[in-house]
């Protein structure tokens, strides 16, 4: 019971001060039927070593990207995280701080959030960004809801190959509103927004001019979704968009079996009062010194309650810090070089797999991920590769396979995949 500082004496002294006859006296308002009879049917407390043995054992049953050739992306990417990032986010002052509602004693978190917002705005070519969302899928859903508020329309059009998880989450969120429709294809005069992912789910980068033009004609907003944020070091910023949102896990945040990740949300300044999530703004203190506070909270549920722009409260603060530290280390030169290295790794991977008999690459264009066609059902191939100690990509319908390479991918990894594919595809 190493986390509990009270002693027999201190408990007795407090009980006496309270004037209670026993600890259960303090629970007198609770119906007897709700009390646990004795103890929960769970094991008793364990020491640190015992817990480490159990959970370490579980970890060892998983095939970690740290140990094997790894080609899986599809919205979650395996990148290198500099040691400095983890050191900073494990500092007590950041790790164990609360949401910065008391700005006088939370300037560290607040200034970091201000820098996070600046990084996101600059990367996405947008005027403003918020202090994070849960993940790319929920950020996309919130973008659609915001577009509905701004345009007072209820139709959402998906303009190209959106990540299937994002689409599913979008469908769930929209399902709560009567008269909402989620469709593919062309927008019309009732469309709230067109959602375009780039690179799309199959890895192809997109241009936005045509989408922008059709949005201008119909009055719909253009929402651009980016789920591999490293791509913005090589591809142009989506400046044509009204909202840019997505996933920033690639920078500073581990894959961690799906979370916590880092949703981001950026848009034009004229929409800030319709934005979901927390915003950090610059101001000054009573002595005239520059400082930062959470601001525009009149959008939020604490004040607006049922009229709030979103119900989002706790978000991904520490992941946003990790991103900010990693981006600070990368800088302009490092970020662009990282993007270039990712693209080159994917080029090498594409050139290698296409030489395997029966394999063809679908994409003409890609960033660090592309789809291939195999001569066999891809699910079986992925399973067979896993048995050979290779995490071999994302199985698409039928014989399609989505392959990804990052700066982590070595020439040896690619050679291992090629040789395993030759065995498996025989």
Of 66, 185, 397, 412, which lies in the binding site for other proteins, with binding defined by CB under 8 A? 66
Site residues (CB under 8 A) for other proteins, limited to 380-399: 382-383, 386-387, 391, 394
Site residues (CB under 8 A) for other proteins, limited to 338-357: 338-341, 343-344, 347-348, 350
Of 115, 200, 240, 369, which lies in the binding site for other proteins, with binding defined by CB under 8 A? 115
Phi and psi at 104, nearest 5°, equal: -60, -30
Q: Among residues 163 and 218, whose Cβ is nearest to other proteins?
A: 163
Q: Among residues 283 and 419, whose Cβ is nearest to other proteins?
A: 283
Cβ partners under 8 Å of residue 232, min gap 6? 123, 124, 226, 339
Nearest by Cα to 323 from 238, 264, 239: 264
Q: Among residues 119 and 191, whose Cβ is nearest to other proteins?
A: 119
Nearest by Cα to 230 from 73, 353, 361: 73
232 lies in the site for other proteins, by CB under 8 A: yes
Of 166, 264, 265, 323, which lies in the binding site for other proteins, with binding defined by CB under 8 A? 166
Which strands, in side-by-side order, build the sheet including 243-247?
A: 128-129, 263-267, 243-247, 221-226, 191-197, 155-158, 181-184
Phi and psi at 154, nearest 5°, equal: -125, 5
Of 21, 64, 183, 360, which lies in the binding site for other proteins, with binding defined by CB under 8 A? 64
The interface region with other proteins, picked from 35-43, 181-189, 210-218, 414-422 by CB under 8 A, is 35-43
Instruction: Return the SS3 of 326.
Output: helix
In the complex, the smallest distance separating the C-beta of residue 298 from other proteins, rounded to whole angstroms, is: 7
323 lies in the site for other proteins, by CB under 8 A: no
Which strands, in side-by-side order, build the sheet including 369-373?
A: 360-361, 369-373, 400-404, 394-395
172 lies in the site for other proteins, by CB under 8 A: yes
196 lies in the site for other proteins, by CB under 8 A: no
106 lies in the site for other proteins, by CB under 8 A: yes
238 lies in the site for other proteins, by CB under 8 A: no
137 lies in the site for other proteins, by CB under 8 A: yes
d(CA 81, CA 318): 15
329 lies in the site for other proteins, by CB under 8 A: yes
Site residues (CB under 8 A) for other proteins, limited to 212-231: none
34 lies in the site for other proteins, by CB under 8 A: yes
Two structure tokens written together for 165 = 């998880």
372 lies in the site for other proteins, by CB under 8 A: no
Q: Taking the mean position of all CA atoms in its chain, how far away is CA 254?
A: 10
DSSP E strand boundaries for 118-252: 128-129, 155-158, 181-184, 191-197, 221-226, 243-247
Q: Count the site residues for other proteins by CB under 8 A.
A: 209
In the complex, the smallest distance separating the C-beta of residue 280 from other proteins, rounded to whole angstroms, is: 7
Site residues (CB under 8 A) for other proteins, limited to 74-93: 74-76, 78, 82, 84, 86-93
178 lies in the site for other proteins, by CB under 8 A: yes
Nearest by Cα to 378 from 356, 393, 353, 400: 400
Judge residue 200's burial from the number of C-beta atoms within 10 Å of its C-beta, 0-12 exposed, 13-18 middle, 19 or more buried. Answer: buried
CB 126 within 8 A of CB 307: no
Cα-based angle 125, 258, 131 (whole degrees, multiple of 5): 35
Of 41, 152, 185, 357, which lies in the binding site for other proteins, with binding defined by CB under 8 A? 41
The interface region with other proteins, picked from 150-158, 182-190, 210-218, 330-338 by CB under 8 A, is 330-338
**Which residues make beta-bridge pairs with 70?**
391
Site residues (CB under 8 A) for other proteins, limited to 263-322: 272, 278-287, 289, 291-293, 295-298, 300-308, 310-319, 321
160 lies in the site for other proteins, by CB under 8 A: no
182 lies in the site for other proteins, by CB under 8 A: no
Of 8, 257, 357, 412, which lies in the binding site for other proteins, with binding defined by CB under 8 A? 257
Tokens 């059902």 sit at which residue? Answer: 377
Of 69, 156, 161, 165, which lies in the binding site for other proteins, with binding defined by CB under 8 A? 165
């Amino acid at each position: 019971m190493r986390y509990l500082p009270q002693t027999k004496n201190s408990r007795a002294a407090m009980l006496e001060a309270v004037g209670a006859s026993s600890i259960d006296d303090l629970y007198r308002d609770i119906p007897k039927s709700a009390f646990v009879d004795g103890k929960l049917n769970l094991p008793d407390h364990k020491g640190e070593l015992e817990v480490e043995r159990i959970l370490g054992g579980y970890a060892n049953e998983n095939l970690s990207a740290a140990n094997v050739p790894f080609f899986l992306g599809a919205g979650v990417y395996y990148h290198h995280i500099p040691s400095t990032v983890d050191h900073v986010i494990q500092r007590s002052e950041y790790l164990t701080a609360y949401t910065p509602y008391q700005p006088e004693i939370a300037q560290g978190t607040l200034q970091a959030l201000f820098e996070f917002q600046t990084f996101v705005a600059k990367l996405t070519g947008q005027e403003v960004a918020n202090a994070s969302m849960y993940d790319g899928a929920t950020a996309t859903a919130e973008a659609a809801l915001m577009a509905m508020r701004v345009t007072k329309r209820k139709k959402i059009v998906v303009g190209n190959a959106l990540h299937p998880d994002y689409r599913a989450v979008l469908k769930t969120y929209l399902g709560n509103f009567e008269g909402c429709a989620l469709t593919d294809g062309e927008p019309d005069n009732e469309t709230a927004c067109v959602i375009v992912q780039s690179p799309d789910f199959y890895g192809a980068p997109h241009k936005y001019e045509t989408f922008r033009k059709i949005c201008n004609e119909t009055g719909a907003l253009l929402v651009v979704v980016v789920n591999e944020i490293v791509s913005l070091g090589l591809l142009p910023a989506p400046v044509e968009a009204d909202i840019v949102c997505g996933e920033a896990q690639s920078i500073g945040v581990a894959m961690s079996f799906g979370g916590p990740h880092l949703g981001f949300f950026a848009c034009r300044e004229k929409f800030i009062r319709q934005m979901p999530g927390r915003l950090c703004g610059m101001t000054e203190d009573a002595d005239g010194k520059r400082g930062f506070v959470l601001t525009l909270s009149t959008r939020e549920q604490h004040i607006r309650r049922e009229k709030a722009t979103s119900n989002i409260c706790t978000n991904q603060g520490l992941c946003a810090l990790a991103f900010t530290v990693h981006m600070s280390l990368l800088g302009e030169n490092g970020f662009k070089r990282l993007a270039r290295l990712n693209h080159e790794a994917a080029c090498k991977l594409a050139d290698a797999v296409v030489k395997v008999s029966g394999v063809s690459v679908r994409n003409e264009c890609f960033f660090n991920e592309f789809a291939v066609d195999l001569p066999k059902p891809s699910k079986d191939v992925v399973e067979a590769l896993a048995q050979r100690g290779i995490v071999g990509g994302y199985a698409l319908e039928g014989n399609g396979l989505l392959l990804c390479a990052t700066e982590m991918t070595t020439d040896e990894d690619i050679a291992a995949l090629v040789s395993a594919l030759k065995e498996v595809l025989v």
